[in-house]
Amino acid sequence: MNETEAEECRALAKKIRLHALKMVFNGKSGHIGSMLSTADIYPVLYKRFLRVDPRNPKWAERDRFLLSKGHGGAALLACLAECGFFPLDWLDRYYCDDGKLSGHISHHIPGVEFSTGSLGHGLPVACGMAMAAKRDGARHRIIVMSSDGDLNEGSTWEAIMLAGQHHYDNLTMLVDYNRLQALGDSEDIINLEPLGPKLEMFGWKAIEADGHDPQAIEAALKRLPLEADKPSCIIFRTVKGKGVSFMENDYKWHYGGLVEELYLKAKEEVEAM
């Protein structure tokens, strides 16, 4: 990825952040910190990596992308709209009466592979998709976005064990690893460290990358599969609330809502990114 291409990704990430802020403000919803945390990953995924077709969202050979941290769905929805999966004006009625977009992502929306919202659901389903793809000899990739909280769930670890056991090298878990969750620092609640070595002991290959640098994100994605006969994990080091100074690394923005003054301040900061 050259600098011009990186700048294009950063420009889309900025749009995603601005959409997410507006959606959360208009809808009086929460989870903005989790959305901003992932905003730099989606442009690289959807513009440069995933084989998907906005005009044919159910294309059989598409890569499957499952957002297991469904609470951060507004950032993904903003990216999908910007990529043309559905009209941009759908974003205006996010979290609103008679709108099309709910606070947690739904498969009823074009481009959304799977509905989530309760954590711990993405990876087991992805394992089933990986198993079926192997049997069918299909070449598409199955990518799951997980998170600190998602990795608290027992069902996620059940699936981690299964994927390693069965060598699902068509399966990748991306971790939005911002080190915060709803009620505080992950290391004070359920310390996942050392996450990469843990996964490798379960039969995975894991690497870390900066989740806010488009070039680093793409370089990591280009290495997939990381090792033959193993599922891959890219642990993206991220900052919860990235781009808004008063939100960054503050767990209260897991749930926190935006009053107008703070919305305008946050918007101004993102515009200046």
Partner 1 sequence: MRKIFNKELLKIAAERKNIYMILADIGYGEIEPFANTFPDRFINCGVAEQEMTGVACGVAMEGNTAITYSIANFPTLRCLEQIRNDVCYHDADVKIVIIGGGVAYGELGMSHHSTEDIAIMRALPNMVVLVPSDGAETKAATRAMLDYKGPVYFRCGYKNEPDLHDGKDVADFRIGGSSQIRDGRDATVFFAGTIGVDAKKAVEDLEREQGISCRLVSLYSIKPIDREAIVRAARETGAIVVVEEHNLSGGVGSAVAEVLMDEGLSGVKFRRLGLPDVYVTKIGCQRWLCEEYGIGPTGIKAAIKGVLGK
Residues that bind partner 1 in the complex, under the rule CB under 8 A: 107, 114-118, 120-121, 123-133, 135-136, 154-155, 158-159, 161-162, 165-166
Least distance (Å) between residue 204 CB and partner 1: 15
> Do 149 and 118 touch, CB atoms closer than 8 A?
no
Of residues 160 and 244, the one with the C-beta less far from partner 1: 160
The rounded distance, in Å, linking the Cα atoms of 201 and 194 is: 11
Least distance (Å) between residue 124 CB and partner 1: 2
Alpha-carbon Rg for the chain, nearest whole angstrom, is: 17
Instruction: Kindly state the helix (H) or strand (E) to which residue 234 belongs, with its residue range.
Output: strand 232-237
Of residues 123 and 216, the one with the C-beta less far from partner 1: 123
Of residues 233 and 266, the one with the C-beta less far from partner 1: 233
Of residues 77 and 220, the one with the C-beta less far from partner 1: 77
The rounded distance, in Å, linking the Cα atoms of 94 and 107 is: 15
Of residues 115 and 232, the one with the C-beta less far from partner 1: 115
The rounded distance, in Å, linking the Cα atoms of 136 and 262 is: 51
Of residues 158, 83, 165, the one with CA closest to residue 122? 158
Q: Which two tokens stand for residue 108?
A: 């009823």
Q: For residue 176, what are the β-bridge partners?
A: 147, 236
The rounded distance, in Å, linking the Cα atoms of 260 and 54 is: 34
Least distance (Å) between residue 138 CB and partner 1: 8
Q: Which two tokens stand for residue 186?
A: 């992950």
Least distance (Å) between residue 89 CB and partner 1: 26
Q: Which two tokens stand for residue 106?
A: 């739904």
Least distance (Å) between residue 68 CB and partner 1: 10
Residue located via tokens 């991220």: 238
Of residues 25 and 204, the one with the C-beta less far from partner 1: 204
Strands 171-177 and 180-181: unpaired
Of residues 12 and 163, the one with the C-beta less far from partner 1: 163
Least distance (Å) between residue 128 CB and partner 1: 2
Least distance (Å) between residue 90 CB and partner 1: 20
User: At residue 159, what is the residue type?
Assistant: A
Q: Which two tokens stand for residue 74?
A: 């507004």
The rounded distance, in Å, linking the Cα atoms of 133 and 173 is: 16
